[in-house]
Chain A
């Protein structure tokens, strides 16, 4: 061994002050709740049965995978998060977690969740989870987000996969039903995020993120929101139309979808910066309620049909 003198430059040493909750925050818990919720609905709706313990492990793996992709997103986006008011208090820009720690955390959790669901559940679910993480962290975050106003349209696929994974957990397959569940979230994403992008216009502008309102203008975005809202409203009814949800669900989905279209119409006709984007904020709030209500209805519907045949 060489007889070099070990010296520590104290100014170079970083001792972490990160608390467990900072790491939890790195996993984007609110997105994770939505992922958990929609994955559970996918599991409940899928034909066949599954051991509850295996289902629990599957949900845990899907949520850890979602959290991992959130951590990778925050690692890569730390520079733009720093300049946006909405994200400036995230753990990395706030200085609570070092970027390298976030990267390692995200990679380790990704590998762990994908392997665990593969070994304990099935390898199709594992592949879909791996693809979802890859799609969100690489395709959306590293490529699309900073290069095209279609970023959240294509990137929305990442958020749409969880019910499909849930379905694959039980059946070991991908079918038309799970593709329809995918399509609902896929079509929901653009109006949801564009409503946000309209009233956070300056934020995205200063971060140089090419969101639709910044690139194509506000009126074009409002029109596109309206078109997507109609497509979403119709897609929401498809589970009943294809016979894997009841007529009662279909009526409820039609009501929810109709309200979505109505709020989008109000955005198209009355939305403006002059009234502080009140219509856009209302649509954004309603879009969150819509997705929860629609999937809750699907879950209740599946539960009722299992109990009462």
Chain B
């Protein structure tokens, strides 16, 4: 890339947009955490002790 020819323009978000983005990020974090927890306990429920009884 040639120096000086690339201008890194950004979009200035309004307060409303910034607030919405933050709220979406928090919601996504909560959903992903819940997904991991659900998958963890779901796997236990589905496999149970059988996970220890497989041929090695």
Contacts and interface: CB of A to CB of B under 8 A. Distances in A.
Interface string A1-25: 1011111101001011111100100
Contact of B38 (A5, A20, A23, A60): A60
Nearest to A10: B11
A151 B11 CA distance: 45
B9 to A, nearest CB: 4
A57 B40 CA distance: 11
Interface residues of B, number: 25
B36 interface: no
Nearest to A22: B20
A243 to B, nearest CB: 32
A51 interface: yes
Contacts of B20: 16-19
A304 interface: no
8 contacts: A3-B1, A3-B6, A6-B8, A15-B11, A15-B13, A16-B17, A20-B26, A53-B41
B7 A53 contact: no
B11 A5 contact: no
Interface of B: 1-2, 5-11, 13-14, 16-17, 20-21, 23-24, 26-27, 38, 41-42, 44-46
A120 interface: yes
A54 B47 CA distance: 11
Contacts, number: 58
Interface string A108-124: 00000000000010000
- Chain B binding surface, main DSSP class: helix
Contacts of B42: 53-54, 57, 120
A6 B7 contact: yes
A81 to B, nearest CB: 22
B1 A51 contact: no
A4 B7 CA distance: 10
Contact of A5 (B6, B14, B17): B6
Nearest to A121: B46
Contacts of B9: 6-8
Interface string A123-142: 00000000000000000000
Given A6-B7, A8-B9, 9 more contacts: A6-B8, A8-B11, A10-B11, A15-B14, A16-B20, A17-B16, A17-B17, A51-B46, A54-B45
